[in-house]
Structure formats: structure tokens, C-alpha cells
Amino acid sequence: MSEDGAMGTPALSDMHTWLMELGNEGRSPRTISAYEADVSETLRFVAEQLNVSPSKLDLGDISRDLLVAAIAEFRTRLDPRYTRNPQMSPPERSPARVARRIAATRVFFKWCYATGRIDADPAALLRSPRRPKRLPKALEAEAAVAMMDATDDARWPERDQLIIILALTTGLRLEEMATLKMQDLQGTPPTSMNVIGKGNKERRLPLPPVTQEALQQYLPTRDKHLKKLGLGAQTLFVSSRPRAVALNSDGSPIMSVEATRAGVAYVVDRVLRRIGARRRGSRVHVLRHTFATLGLRPDSDSGVPAYTLRQLQAALGHANLATIQVYTEVSDAELGKAAAAHPLAKKN
């Protein structure tokens, strides 16, 4: 019940309606799942503070102070990834993670206010933490080339090499690689592909010659592997071993070799370790950063980068050009060379 005595509406029920609307708007399942986790946990903490059941929590009872307390509790709570080794857990969640929770909370309550469920928005003035500006971790060109050639001893070298080359030459996200389907390949043989990115936005990307070659080496091995197992698959990448994903009506398992995020990530992680480039924070996304960073780096002969900012924005599938600006700072390492070559940098 709100302060003026009027009955509010069940917060969790409204949250589920909001999530359904997000789905109707075309938001990705991963985005919706992340929003649900952040908002539902916040609402449950507020319910505990009010000593009510989460299912009976009224929107009208939620104040800004309660939301601030919920964010503070989340910020300082033990990260569940370190449950077995709590001494290794950082004292606080990262600013980026806290900012994501605040953003989800703000979006939910803004919707509640816009749809007339509350008379005032308690999350409107929540402020996100300052996020330290960190340059993307990227491999140097030599290390990137080494990755392309570091799959010879793999169980399935053709597949693993294509995963590495595709990521390094097109900048695909992990999710985009794992969900890329055979029908997304364009041409015979394929010379481009359609990619469904964040927000279900589609973009067409050309396949460079090195990627086309790796693809042509992989596809026959994919067909042979599926034929041997007697299975089909829609995804371009398939796993080495089938796994049960459901049960038939008779109780027998339904087997699948469709690609998974974890499977693609494992391949990249193993190759990073093999060339000695595995660092904290250097996982699959490092290949996307490498593609972008090297794409903006001036060519040693012509002095012209391979991509303009707008071309890179289109290739990476970013809606905002400002997001790409961070990659220009990485190539500012060239400033040292330029400064040394300045006419006034040397004594006559």
C-alpha cells in the first residue's frame, strides 16, 4: 500500500508484463533474461526490507531509499563465483556490473510510471557509478596471426581454425558465432554472411579470402561428421560430441551437436593458452577487440587504416558511433613513433 493509502499493483506481476512487452519489441532473449535477473533480485531485497512476501510487494511501497539500499547490498555482496574461495572475491562488484543493475531498475520503473502503475518514479534519480575508462585488451598482429596457425593439434583443426579466423577477420561476438547458421552464408561458395546481432539487427558482412579458404576446408569435414553421427544441424559450427537436449515421448534422449556459447568459448580459450596470450579478461571478446583495433591502425606502407570509423561501426553492428571511438585510442600507441619522428624531437 502506498503512502496515500491507495493500493498499488503487485511488483513481480508487473515485472513479468514488462518482460513480455520487451519480447514483443524484439529484444533478445539474453537481454530479457539479464533484465529479469537484475530487477527480480532488487524487488526481492526490497520485499525483505518491508517484511512482506515478494509476491505481495506493491509498487507503491517502493521508495528511492529502498532502491539505493538494494543497489548497495548488491554492490558489496559476495560474488557467487567465489563461494568456494571467498577470500579471492573482490570487495565490491565492478562499476560496470553495478551500472547494469541500476540501468535495468531504471528502465523497469520508467515503464511502470509511463503505464500509470505508479504516480512517481523512485528510480528516476538513481545515479550510476563512474566507470574507469579502460582501453580494450587486444592482441598484436603477430599474436593474432599465431592464433590462426595454432590449431593443428586440435581434435578438429579445420573447425577450430575457422572459429579463430572468423572472429579475427569479422569481429563477430560470441553469441553471433554460436548462433550463425548455414543458411546465413551467402553465395556458392560463400563470399558473405548475414549476421543477427544485438536487438535482432541484421547486417551483411563480406568474408575475406583467408576466411573463405578456412570455410571451404571446414565444410566437408562438417558434412562428414554429421553423416557419421546420423544427425543434422542448423548452426555453422557443430560440437565434436553429441549431447542430450531433451527427451522423446518414449523417454529416449534427443541428441544434438548444435553449437553453444560455451563450446565456441572453449576453443578460443584453448588457443589463447597455447600461444601464451591467455590473460585475465582476455577471452573471446579479445578477438573482437583485436579485429577493431587492427582495423583502425594505419597501414605501414600507405599510412591508411583498413576501416574508417563508420565502416567499422557497420561491421561490428554498433548503433552508436561513439562506441567505436575507444578503438582509436588503442591505435594511439602509434603516437610514440610519430613523436620520435617530429622535426623538433631530434637535435641537429
User: Any idea what the CATH number is for the domain that residue 198 is in?
Assistant: 1.10.443.10
Backbone dihedral region for residue 276 (phi beyond 0: left; psi -120 to 50: alpha; all else: beta): left
What is the model's pTM?
A: 0.71
Can you give the residue range of the structural domain that contains 56? 11-114
Tell me, yes or no, whether 205 and 309 share the same domain: yes
Residue 129, in any domain of the structure: no
Over residues 270-299, the pLDDT tens digits come to: 999 898 877 765 578 889 999 998 898 887
Quick one: which of 4, 120, 145, 5 has its CA closest to 67?
Answer: 120
pLDDT of residue 340: 67
Asked if residue 245 belongs to a domain, the reply is: yes
8: Cα separation from own chain's centroid: 36
Claim to verify: residue 103 and residue 203 sit in the same structural domain: no
Same domain, 201 and 109: no
Answer yes or no: is 119 within a domain: no
Residue 344 within any structural domain of the chain: no
- Give residue for cell 601464451: 276
Does some domain include residue 52? yes
For 307-344, give one letter per residue: b (16+ CB within 10 A) or e.
Answer: bebeebbebbbbeeeeebeebeebbeeeeeeeeeeeee
Alpha helices in 56-156 (DSSP H): 64-76, 95-114, 141-148
Same domain, 242 and 150: yes
The b-or-e profile of 93-105 (16+ CB within 10 A means b, else e) is beeeebbbbbebb
What pLDDT was estimated at residue 347?
60
The answer to whether residues 189 and 323 belong to one domain is yes
Helix axes 157-170, 141-148, angle to 10 degrees: 150
The contacts of residue 112 (CB under 8 Å, 6+ apart) are: 14, 18, 59, 118, 121
Any bridge partners for residue 140, and if so which?
none
Same domain, 107 and 204: no
pLDDT of residue 297: 86
pLDDT in tens, 117-171: 999 999 999 998 887 666 567 888 899 999 999 998 889 999 999 999 999 999 9
Q: How many separate domains does the chain show?
A: 2
Question: Can you tell me the distance from the alpha carbon of 284 to that of 137, in angstroms, rounded to the nearest whole number?
Answer: 11
- Cβ atoms within 10 A of the Cβ of 193, count? 24
With respect to residue 346, please indicate whether it lies within any of the assigned structural domains.
no
In a domain, 271, yes or no: yes
Same domain, 145 and 266: yes
70 and 154 belong to one structural domain: no
Does residue 133 lie in a domain region? no
Please tell me the predicted confidence (pLDDT) of residue 6: 42
Domain endpoint, select from 75, 96, 114: 114
- The values of phi and psi at residue 106, to 5°, are -65, -40
Do 199 and 88 reside in the same domain of the chain? no
For residue 290, give the nearest of 163, 131, 142 by alpha carbon. Answer: 142
Question: Is residue 185 located within the same domain as residue 323?
Answer: yes
Is 59 in the same domain as 187?
no
Residues with pLDDT less than 50, the chain: 1-7, 330
203 and 282 share one domain:
yes
* Cα 283 versus chain centre, distance: 11
